[in-house]
Amino acid sequence: MARVYDVTKGKDYYGPGGGYAFFSGRDGSRAFVSGQFDEAGLIDDVRGLSSSDYLGLKQWEEFYAKDYKKVGLLEGRFYNKQGEVTEEWKQLQRDISAAVKEQDTQDSEKKVFPPCNVEWTKEKGTRFWCTAKSGGIARTWIGVPRKLFYPGRDERCACVRDTGSPSTDPGASSNRGDLDNPHLKQYQDCPPDSFECWNKAK
């Protein structure tokens, strides 16, 4: 992102004939997350990327800052002739900050609503099921599969705690866990208390 690094120690990769030689001498930031390594893709315009792509840019920036010495800045989209940041640089930082915040929110969400285990076969269709560790989240409960939905986001299968007080009100006398959360709905033809559901193949 317009920062110039001395990559001499990585010359096998960035020197002539190296696998990443196309990055040398230019700001091809977008290609780091798009994977488009031709002239059309090796550009510094990183507007309109997805949240995960902005996180990817942040990780690449951290990688270079750790492994290589910064020796300068590239005048253009992100820095002016005096080395001062531009409005586009400020917008990029806002986009990255928003992506980090969204990731933190989703990480917290996954602790309450861990992703289900999922498998698909042509013969049987899709199976969703819950265990005491699914989606990388270990816990003391198993839960039941439900569709988790939020406006503007794709639905996903979540394992939902079905006993105890709701996460949003730990002092409540309810013993239904998080089943009454308004962002949940049952899978069709799935017993509400079953730890697994099937979307049968047609």
The CATH number of whichever domain residue 80 belongs to comes to: 3.10.120.10
Whether residues 82 and 33 share a domain: the answer is yes
Which of the listed residues 48, 80, 108 is the one where a domain comes to its end? 108
User: Residue 182's pLDDT is what?
Assistant: 94
User: Residue 202's pLDDT is what?
Assistant: 57
Whether residues 136 and 98 share a domain: the answer is no
CA–CA distance, 145 with 186 (Å, rounded to integer):
8
The β-bridge relationship of strands 125-129 and 117-121 is antiparallel
Whether residues 47 and 65 share a domain: the answer is yes
How many CB atoms neighbour CB 46 within 10 A? 23
User: Residue 163's pLDDT is what?
Assistant: 94
3-state SS assignment for residue 12: helix
Instruction: Check residue 115 and report its DSSP letter.
Output: B
Instruction: Check residue 192 and report its DSSP letter.
Output: T
Backbone dihedral angles phi then psi of residue 159, each to the nearest 5 degrees: -85, 125
Whether residues 62 and 23 share a domain: the answer is yes
Total domains, the chain: 2
User: Residue 166's pLDDT is what?
Assistant: 93
Whether residues 92 and 156 share a domain: the answer is no
Domain that holds residue 192: 113-200
User: Residue 167's pLDDT is what?
Assistant: 92
Whether residues 65 and 31 share a domain: the answer is yes
pLDDT, tens digit, 9 for 90 and up, residues 52-74 = 999 999 999 999 999 999 999 99
3-state SS assignment for residue 120: strand
User: Residue 71's pLDDT is what?
Assistant: 93
Which of the listed residues 85, 108, 131 is the one where a domain comes to its end? 108
Whether residues 15 and 86 share a domain: the answer is yes
Whether residues 77 and 173 share a domain: the answer is no
Whether residues 101 and 117 share a domain: the answer is no
User: Residue 201's pLDDT is what?
Assistant: 60
Whether residues 84 and 69 share a domain: the answer is yes
User: Residue 98's pLDDT is what?
Assistant: 92
Which of the listed residues 108, 129, 150 is the one where a domain comes to its end? 108
- In the predicted model, residues of the chain with pLDDT beneath 50 are none
At 189, the amino acid letter reads D
Q: What is the pTM of this model?
A: 0.63
Whether residues 47 and 96 share a domain: the answer is yes
Whether residues 54 and 17 share a domain: the answer is yes
3-state SS assignment for residue 13: helix
User: Residue 83's pLDDT is what?
Assistant: 92
**1-14 burial: b if 16+ Cβ within 10 Å, else e:** bbbeeebeebeeeb
Question: What are the CB-based long-range contacts (under 8 Å, 24+) for 4-10?
Answer: 4/70, 4/71, 4/72, 4/73, 4/74, 5/64, 5/68, 5/69, 5/70, 5/71, 6/68, 6/69, 6/70, 6/71, 7/68, 9/68, 10/67, 10/68
